[in-house]
Structure 1
């Protein structure tokens, strides 16, 4: 239970960090807004023409009598839209991180420098195109895993009582796990931690991961909230990655009086705050 609170604490600390670095927060909104507009467009199209797609995909039901034809295709249309929403929640973070990879890498480095006792941050030795390729490849692998879980939970959802109570709760924890992996990958990839190692790290501290990712996944269900929480989520996931790796971290929540705000993605970070706490 202590790890659950610690995970949620990292989420809050990440939001506080970007609140103290307003210009970085503003830049961090851009990738999320772009992705949000694209997703909304797809969901609107699905809402308008989803029933036509279902009718096209089920020609065998054309001869069914009323009301069975309407009930059958109506049910499939609702299922299709629900799956699209689930897929949107699971993939929003990956797509946003891919769109904003250069900025989020810089944002994560700034957090590392700010909370590191020596004011340094690990840097990737790979060129940008290689980092983008690895990020996209790993995101696809995570998406496949998440899709398998999604199909399994959807099937289990038809079990009476359990399917309407326990299964949705499990689904939120699964979503939280994969959200955390995607966000922590920004900091862990810079450190050369491969996907298999990342997953092993996250599984070793599941309660910590759930404390961070599950409330974030619930918040992401609210339209536009994901856009505004993304910069802070990346910052918080960097702090979580440091804990997973056992790196010494000082409390950066309370900057020294008069410490200047950052000037955007290209400026140097200012390390401030009290002495190391652990």
Structure 2
């Protein structure tokens, strides 16, 4: 039986957007936001240049028919659609890799704010630097968890008849992954293993899917997804604090 509260889960991202505006948390939002913006611009430029070269190559290969040469607008339309899909998840993965040490500290400060503890950044920068190897290792764990399941869903998606439910499965899986991705930050701060985190979220699956749903949707909106990442970190921290843990969490 599925446990949790789907509608309560929906509210955590909205709470996260409110939290990132708090003075004590703002600094640890601005820095990864700038890094993500630079990444965003670099990816757009690189993909635009690469795709422009591809279009020029294809159009040079096609016969010199005017109506064929006029099809370059269609290629650019397809490019825009590809960008949207890539940024839905690819950008989020890369942004998390870059910002993971900052997000771990942002989650820690958010937890202090929500629980009424004194917020301090004493030693924060040194701690962020020290946490880089562990944070990157944790992100790689999530990617390793994601890839084989995504491949399986892709295979299901090309099977006739069965592929009718593939879109629903894909979206549900990505909602789950968004929840897993961001609740992992407070879990890692408490030294909870990735496997234990999965069990904890599975025990509150409705709440987890409710939280992951708006994150997955807004991740597909360029520019907006820059702000979704830190808001999701703060919202996931609220999730961690307020969602009861019915499992025996094994610590590392």
Give the TM-score normalised by the residue count of structure 1: 0.65
In 2, distance between residues paired with 1:84 and 1:29? 20
How far residue 98 of structure 1 moved from its aligned partner, in angstroms, is: 3.1
Is 1:197 aligned with 2:196? Answer: yes
In 1, distance between residues paired with 2:11 and 2:238? 10
In 2, distance between residues paired with 1:110 and 1:48? 44
Q: 1:10 to 1:47 in 2, by over 3 A?
A: same
In 2, distance between residues paired with 1:15 and 1:174? 23
Taking only aligned residues, the RMSD between alpha carbons, in angstroms, comes to 3.7
**Contact 1:180 1:209 (C-alpha < 8 Å) held by counterparts:** yes
- Provide the residue aligned with 1:170 in structure 2: 169
1:258-273 alignment, distance < 5 Å = none
Q: 1:228 to 1:205 in 2, by over 3 A?
A: same
Question: C-alpha offsets along residues 188-247 of structure 1, whole Å, 9 cap, x if unaligned?
Answer: 11111122222222222221111111221121111112102222111101111223465x
- Provide the residue aligned with 1:33 in structure 2: 37
Unaligned runs of 5+ in 1: 55-78, 247-278
- The one of 45, 48, 51 equivalent to 1:47 is 51
Give the paired residue count: 221
Question: C-alpha offsets along residues 87-126 of structure 1, whole Å, 9 cap, x if unaligned?
Answer: 65334334323322343233222321221055579x9999
- Provide the residue aligned with 1:14 in structure 2: 16
1:108 alignment partner, SS class: helix
1:74-89 alignment, distance < 5 Å = 88-89=87-88
- Provide the residue aligned with 1:155 in structure 2: 155
Give the TM-score normalised by the residue count of structure 2: 0.71
- The one of 3, 6, 27 equivalent to 1:4 is 6
In 2, distance between residues paired with 1:80 and 1:145? 29
Q: 1:195 to 1:51 in 2, by over 3 A?
A: farther
1:100 alignment partner, SS class: helix
- Which has the higher relative contact order, 1 or 2, with Cα contacts under 8 A spaced 6 or more apart? 2
- Provide the residue aligned with 2:139 in structure 1: 139
In 2, distance between residues paired with 1:235 and 1:23? 9
Of Structure 1 and Structure 2, which has the larger fraction of its residues in helix?
Answer: 2
- Provide the residue aligned with 1:271 in structure 2: none
- Provide the residue aligned with 2:215 in structure 1: 216
**Contact 2:96 2:139 (C-alpha < 8 Å) held by counterparts:** no
In 1, distance between residues paired with 2:136 and 2:101? 13
1:221 alignment partner, SS class: coil
